[in-house]
Amino acid sequence: MISGPANAASRKAILALAESPRLDTLVRKHGMRLGAARFVAGESLDQLVPVLRRLNEQGLLTNTTLLGEHVHTPDESRAVVRAYREILDRIAAESLKTNVALKLTHLGLDLDEQLAYENVSTLIEHAARLGNFVRMDMEESRWVDATLRIYQRLREAGHENTGTVLQSYLYRTEADLESMLDLKPNLRFVKGAYLEPPDMAYPDKADVDAAYARLVERSLRDGGFTAIATHDEQLIDHAIAFAEREGIPRERFQFQMLYGVRPQLQLDLVKRGFAVLVATPFGPDWYRYLMRRLAERPANTFFFLKNLVRG
Ligand SMILES: Cc1cc2nc3c(=O)[nH]c(=O)nc-3n(C[C@H](O)[C@H](O)[C@H](O)COP(=O)(O)OP(=O)(O)OC[C@H]3O[C@@H](n4cnc5c(N)ncnc54)[C@H](O)[C@@H]3O)c2cc1C
């Protein structure tokens, strides 16, 4: 989330470019070399593992995501399930402190909700056998109902090693949180990364931030586990002060940030004794992910374009 009309316009333009297949082809050809590597930990599992190990050695927890979204056939979604099984096996074999965060559209949500449910259940069961955890990211607002339904079904089926995400920019989110509290949910809170219309989401950053603080307070006080996923130092300080005032034990929350964003802040929080997880995605399909990171901070785009022009 960024503020000001100029920034809002840049964000909109960059997010629109995220849907351009021509730019995807161009950027993908050179992008890793020119700057995407700042945000993406390689294109293969072999490139990912040493990055995760280095982060773990610095005292940081990690998660990983095989980048990609929106598959076209059930078979494609099952190939993604196989890839995630391999990732979970590799994490176990390498004894990494890494869990998995995935997108339900990558597991077929826009083909069939039941297919996505079965695919994610398979992975959660596999993760449970390995003592691991799977979080379902939150995507565009049209997927919120289905994602929350799937989370509820999984919990009712007895799966404890799973969590999901709530976005503070959506007007609906505070009511969603209230309706989930009985489950003692494991929730990651984010501001929200997609382009949403003003009838769904707060257009002003100040409102998004205020909602974020309220959501985190509510979850810390009455929820299950709270993952505070932001690089916003004011909101991080607010959460720490609230947790201390209310006597919330540190095992009940953690901070989460993105690979390549505010690395010093990540380490400073570890030094202060807080759990910090670095979301560390990988895979050849990194174009849309990169565009969302550029949209969050247009200065990143200038850096990237400068490198592109220099070749
Ligand atoms: C671990 C994690 C998981 C996420 N999962 C989801 C999800 O499932 N669904 C979803 O919609 N969104 C997700 N997001 C993205 C989120 O919604 C925001 O778009 C993103 O975190 C930027 O918002 P912010 O909270 O950092 O605050 P902002 O107010 O945008 O930024 C605060 C400060 O952080 C720094 N900063 C923020 N972003 C960047 C960047 N890209 N590059 C450099 N500096 C930056 C800047 O210094 C900025 O001033 C996730 C974010 C994190 C950290």
Residues assigned a catalytic role: 137, 188
Quote the mean pLDDT of the chain: 92
Question: Residue 133 — pLDDT band, cuts 50, 70, 90?
Answer: very high
Q: What confidence score (pLDDT) does residue 70 get?
A: 83
Mean pLDDT, range 265-282, rounded to an integer: 98
* Stated pTM of the model: 0.93
Ligand 1 close to Cβ of residue 261 (< 6 A): yes
Q: What confidence score (pLDDT) does residue 6 get?
A: 61
More confidently predicted of 152 and 301 = 152
Best residue for ligand 1 mutational test, from 296, 302, 303 (most atoms within 8 Å of Cβ) = 296
Q: How far is the CA of 192 from the centre of ligand 1 (A)?
A: 8
Mean pLDDT, range 269-289, rounded to an integer: 95
Q: Residue 254 above 70 pLDDT?
A: yes
Q: How far is the CA of 272 from the centre of ligand 1 (A)?
A: 22
Helix/strand/coil (H/E/C) assignment for every residue in the chain = CCCCHHHHHHHHHHHHHCCCHHHHHHHHHHHHHHCHHHCCCCCCHHHHHHHHHHHHHCCCEEEECECCCCCCCHHHHHHHHHHHHHHHHHHHHCCCCEEEEECHHHHCCCCCHHHHHHHHHHHHHHHHHCCCCEEECCCCHHHHHHHHHHHHHHHHCCCCCEEEEEECCECCHHHHHHHHHHHCCEEEEECCCCCCCCCCECCCHHHHHHHHHHHHHHHHHHCCEEEEECCCHHHHHHHHHHHHHHCCCHHHEEEEEECCCCHHHHHHHHHCCCCEEEECCECCCCHHHHHHHHHHCHHHHHHHHHHHHHC
Best residue for ligand 1 mutational test, from 231, 235, 293 (most atoms within 8 Å of Cβ) = 231
Ligand 1 close to Cβ of residue 297 (< 6 A): yes
Mean pLDDT, range 14-33, rounded to an integer: 71
In contact, 41 and 284? CB cutoff 8 Å: no
Q: How far is the CA of 125 from the centre of ligand 1 (A)?
A: 30
Q: Residue 2 above 60 pLDDT?
A: no
Q: Residue 50 above 90 pLDDT?
A: yes
Ligand 1 close to Cβ of residue 104 (< 6 A): no
Please calculate the CA angle 24-26-28 and round it to the nearest 5 degrees.
65
171-186 pLDDT tens trace: 999 999 999 999 999 9
63-116 pLDDT tens trace: 999 998 889 999 999 999 999 999 999 999 999 999 999 999 999 999 999 999
More confidently predicted of 21 and 46 = 46
Q: What confidence score (pLDDT) does residue 4 get?
A: 57
Q: What confidence score (pLDDT) does residue 5 get?
A: 59
Mean pLDDT, range 139-159, rounded to an integer: 98
Of 192, 273, 277, residue with least CA distance to 226: 277
Best residue for ligand 1 mutational test, from 69, 173, 191, 289 (most atoms within 8 Å of Cβ) = 191
Q: Which atom of ligand 1 is nearest to the CA of 279?
A: 1
More confidently predicted of 20 and 60 = 60
Alpha-carbon distance of 213 to 217, in angstroms, equals 6
Question: Residue 34 — pLDDT band, cuts 50, 70, 90?
Answer: low
